[in-house]
Structure 1
């Protein structure tokens, strides 16, 4: 049984639901806060995620970062060397989706010289279907082009909020297993 630790950056524009996603994941869906104050820096959520069929687990250190540029400049140190990335956009806000490329580039720039191979794109607020502005297929195509898994969720309706984090834990664990195999082959 192996317990790994992964630094996860939660990134995206303000008011897309990053904090709600992190908080509902931490509470296993037990607590949806109806109102949030704007994150003005960084909140840390820690949760251990079991990796199916292995007996292993990944402790995700989820850094929920402010979406405002004013604050993101102060966060460069906290963003250094992430292991995994969770990009969040609001399915009713096309600009928040378009800005995901900026957030992805920022995250990648924090790990110079190494690639950031593990990440997910999360479209939140699917409960607002009548106001949808971002097509699911378009988001999926962009995510795949960036090497990201794609998910849609409604934190408010508690739908699919665990899947992105379980995917990140599984992907991170797979990278660990691959590195162990490389080291074994060298021995």
Structure 2
């Protein structure tokens, strides 16, 4: 049984639903906050994810980052050496999607490893009539940037846990690969 700890960076523009997704994940969907205060700087949330078909688990230290530029200097220091990345945008806000390139570049600049597991999450899929970013466009961008793609609706509590569990599995898989490499050398 192995218990790993992953530094999980949650990034994206303000008001895309990062905090709501993190809170839903932490509470297993039991808590949807209708009124919330915007994140100032970074909130850190911790949750352990059990890896299916193993006795292992990954403790996610989720750095829920403000999407406001004014807090970037604080975030930059806290983002040192991330283990995984979750970029979130609002499917009804094209600017939030366009900003993902900036957030991706900023987080990748803080890592020392050659491959940072990451996902792109299109949130607020419940806003069907207001959608401005098509799923295919986001999937293509994610693939070009070596990210998995997921769509969620925090409000409808749809798929909110999937990106988190996917990243925990990816982190665990990288750990397993490193262990195998070490064993093959010894």
Query: In the TM superposition, what are the counterparts of 1:139-158 in structure 2 within 5 Å?
Result: 139-158=138-157
Relative to the length of structure 1, the TM-score reads 0.97
Q: Does 1:136 align with 2:135?
A: yes
8 Å CA contact 1:48–1:58 kept in 2: the answer is yes
Alpha-carbon deviations, 1:84-122, whole Å to 9, x = none?
0000000000000010000000001111x4324200100
Q: Quote the residue 1:85 is aligned against.
A: 85
Alpha-carbon deviations, 1:24-50, whole Å to 9, x = none?
000000000002211111101100011
Q: Does 1:108 align with 2:105?
A: no
| Runs of 4+ that moved beyond 2 A | 113-117
Alpha-carbon deviations, 1:120-157, whole Å to 9, x = none?
10000001111001000110111011111100000010
Relative to the length of structure 2, the TM-score reads 0.98
Q: Quote the residue 2:95 is aligned against.
A: 95
Give the secondary-structure state (helix, strand or coil) at the position aligned to 2:126. Answer: helix
Give the secondary-structure state (helix, strand or coil) at the position aligned to 2:127. Answer: helix
Distance in 2, matches of 1:63 and 1:4, equals 16
Which consecutive unaligned segments of at least 5 residues does structure 1 have?
A: none
Which consecutive unaligned segments of at least 5 residues does structure 2 have?
A: none
8 Å CA contact 2:108–2:116 kept in 1: the answer is no
Give the secondary-structure state (helix, strand or coil) at the position aligned to 1:87. Answer: strand
Q: Quote the residue 2:163 is aligned against.
A: 164
Give the secondary-structure state (helix, strand or coil) at the position aligned to 2:6. Answer: strand
CA drift at 1:14: 0.3
Q: Which moved further from structure 2: 82-91 or 113-122?
A: 113-122
8 Å CA contact 1:108–1:116 kept in 2: the answer is no
CA drift at 1:176: 0.3
